[in-house]
Chain A
Amino acid sequence: MKRYFPIIVLAVLCVLPLVGLNTYLMHIVILSVMWAVCGMAWNLLGGYCGQVSFGHAAFFGTGAYCSGILAMKFKISAWYGFLLSVPLNVAVALSMGLIVLRLRGPYFVLATLAIGEVFRIFAENVVDLTNGNLGIMIERTWVEKTQFYYIVLGLGLLAYAVVKFITESRWGYYFVAIREDQDAAESLGINTTLYKTIALTVSAVLTGFAGSFYMVYMGYIDPQIVFSLGEISILMIMVVMVGGVATFWGPTVGAVIMVILAELIRSIPRVGVAYQTLFGILLIVIIIYLPNGLVGDFPKIRRMFQRGAA
């Protein structure tokens, strides 16, 4: 049963648009998958390799602006942004890595956070290139959601396959070894800087894809949206923390929960404005009671319910 689980999930996801979900539900599903991609990407670096990044918005935003600028300034299809985002995000990741990967613990956290913010401020101020706070608006390729859905699903599969392949290979062992003890890993012949750079770069490229997708799907971006600390970088961490750090399905579960929760909270009148409060409280509760997320602490949850039933 467990072996077929991914295939069943995939099959269900493939036929989902045929069920006839309305536009709004499709929108939620698309956002969930997009956030799952972000979560899986963050998880590779944060969960497996133990490098907690507070600056992934830098990659997301870079991806989004690749698409946006191509369409706005160069009048070519925003879809080429996916291609352009790869070399750009690799470059961003490598230069970011030069600075942050020598740092450990809190220094790393703060450095990534700062770099994420630098990107936002940059995008706000280099008006000639980015339109600054006015943002970029482009025409969407399709009005229908279905095409977008299959594309984001493709991205989701790609991210899943990449994470799965990496974590089960030599790299995966090295990542976890680095997370558990950098000194030990280094003295066991693992080039910790190299492998942290690999984790960062792969994570950056995947996150960039999600960003490019956001641009072509939403049709509008501005620096405060795609380079946001709270709405992108921290939400990415929350997706992973709620779902389960260093688990395959955690980011997906977390993404679905967070997107639905966000939509639910925002749609309730008067409560909507408090969604950050509720997210904050959720984060606090998760950290205290389910530090390894819903998937990681699933045995604990099941025990809790069994005790409740008995």
Chain B
Amino acid sequence: MEPFLQTLIAGILLGGLYSLIGIGMTLILGVMKIINLTHGQLMMVAMYITFWLFSIFKLDPYLSLFIAPPLLFLFGMGLQKFLIDPVLKVESILPHNQVILTVGIGMVLQNLATIFFTSDYRSTPVSYATDAWYLSDVWKTAPIELSLSFSWTISFCIAVAITIMLWYFLAKTDTGKSIRATAQDLDAAMLMGVNVNMMRMITFGIGSAMVAASGCLFIPIYYLFPALGSQFTLIAFVITILGGMGSTMGAIIGGLILGVFESVTATYVGMGWAPAGRFVVFIAALVFLPGGVASLLKRHAIRKSK
């Protein structure tokens, strides 16, 4: 029981961070209808920014949240404007040119990181890295012992806060509404006077900033190396598929499911199999739940309204 609960807690905390990664991807997918296969590499870039800020200026990784995401926001807008947007207009036989393009961008980023920062594993050894709260601290006679890592918990809470902020932005602000309009119906949005190109740029920027924020939250509890980029790109799209393409709520649930599932696989099957478990979830979602969690939510909503 005890290991299981501990695994569950670890899974939920991990899932919260995964959700944040997934939201960025699904947002880009919803608005631009392309899969951003350089998503994890953007996260890696943000993590290196955070790492160097920590190493040189002793800046706490969590404070990098005010630096790395804005930088990645600009970087993402630039990628959209100068590389992805031109390709949308190029006529070609292969239908997935933009996807392949993002693969190319990812290759460049990952390789440049290897050249400049070597493929060494890096981490930010913060003073509170091993701090944790224990159940026995608050409940002396507890029958089981559970721990809650300090930095995992902080990261999780910040991830939740960012998600709520994003929700507020999309639901309440004019720009957010325009972005949602663009995602729902491009032509209609254009007719209503939405500057669609601008919205695309902003969306890609926000998506990049979101994943950059995940990077800042991950680095205190994880380590960093260039190939981490492609690993997280895969995670991001598994979440996206699991959640249902373009659905924010789906991405949150998808992230949590994946987090718990990986945590359970790592504990009970073996560390090496955790990535395989990821893909089993992914393929199962494709086969049994083609619309992802979002389709279940929708079905539920329809049943309720009847």
Given A109-B99, A245-B94, A291-B91: A99 in contact with B276 (beta carbons within 8 A): no
For residue B272, which residues in chain A have a CB less than 8 angstroms away from its CB? 121, 124-125
B273 in contact with A229 (CB, 8 Å): no
Indicate if the CB atoms of B90 and A241 lie closer than 8 Å. no
Answer yes or no: A94 CB below 8 A from chain B CBs.
Answer: no
Q: Report the number of A-B residue pairs with Cβ-Cβ less than 8 Å.
A: 139
Give the distance to chain B from A291, nearest Cβ to Cβ, in Å.
3
Q: Is the CB of B90 within 8 A of A110?
A: no
Q: Would you give the shortest CB distance from A267 to chain B, in whole angstroms? A: 17
B35 at the interface (CB under 8 A from A): yes
B92: chain A residues at CB < 8 Å are 245, 287, 291-292
Binds A, one of B53-61, B145-153, B176-184, B279-287: B279-287
B107 in the interface (beta carbon within 8 A):
yes
Residues of A within 8 A of B96 (CB): 52, 105-106, 109
Q: List residues 84-119 of chain B with CB under 8 A from any CB of chain A.
A: 86-87, 90-97, 99-101, 103-108, 110-112, 114-115
Chain B residues with CB under 8 Å of A284's CB are: 83, 101, 104-105, 108
Minimum distance in angstroms from B228 CB to a CB of chain A: 14
Interface residues on B, range: 35 or more
Q: How far is the CA of A97 from the CA of B271 in the complex (A)?
A: 29
Q: How far is the CA of A241 from the CA of B290 in the complex (A)?
A: 30
Kindly state whether residue B241 has any CB partner on chain A within 8 Å: yes
B210 sits at the interface (CB 8 A): no
Tell me the complex Cα distance, A29–B100, Å.
27
Task: Please tell me if A68 contacts chain B, counting CB pairs below 8 Å.
Answer: no
A114 touches B279 (CB 8 A): yes
Q: Is B3 an interface residue (CB 8 A)?
A: no
What 6 pairs across the A-B complex have the smallest Cβ distances?
Answer: A291-B92, A280-B107, A276-B111, A283-B104, A280-B108, A277-B111
Given known pairs A277-B115, A280-B107, the reply for A288 and B90 (CB within 8 Å) is yes
Q: Beyond A99-B286, A106-B35, A121-B279, is A287–B108 a contact (Cβ under 8 Å)?
A: no
Interface contact A230-B107, CB-CB below 8 Å = yes
Q: Are B283 and A287 in contact (CB under 8 A)?
A: no
- The reply on B162 being an interface residue by CB < 8 A is no
Whether, in the assembled complex, A246 has its beta carbon less than 8 Å from a beta carbon of chain B, the answer is: yes
Most A C-beta atoms less than 10 A away, residue of B100, B101, B241, B283: B100
